[in-house]
């Protein structure tokens, strides 16, 4: 943890995490988790004038 925090704001946090953790950060897991909710919301909002976009 100390090595991860050592550089502070001296480098781009995304590159820093990739170097120390070995992978890029992604929101894919959250999008996958909430996918059923998005399907349900789109079904509920059919026919409404102001709603979610077709794709996010």
Residues 18 and 24 sit within 8 Å (Cβ to Cβ): yes
Please give the residue range of the domain that contains residue 7. Answer: 2-44
Rounded to an integer, the average pLDDT of 25-37 is: 91
Q: What is the pLDDT of residue 31?
A: 93
Within a domain: 28? yes
List phi, psi (to 5°) of 37. Answer: -65, -40
Residue 9 has pLDDT above 90, yes or no: no
Give the predicted TM-score (pTM) of the model.
0.50
Within a domain: 10? yes
Count of the separate structural domains present in the chain:
1
Q: What is the pLDDT of residue 53?
A: 74
Within a domain: 49? no
- Residues with Cβ within 8 Å of residue 32, at least 6 apart in sequence: none
């Amino acid at each position: 943890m100390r090595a991860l925090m050592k550089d502070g704001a001296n480098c781009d946090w995304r590159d820093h995490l990739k170097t120390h953790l070995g992978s890029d950060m992604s929101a894919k897991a959250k999008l996958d988790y909430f996918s059923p909710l998005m399907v349900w919301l789109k079904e509920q909002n059919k026919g409404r004038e102001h709603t979610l976009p077709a794709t996010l």
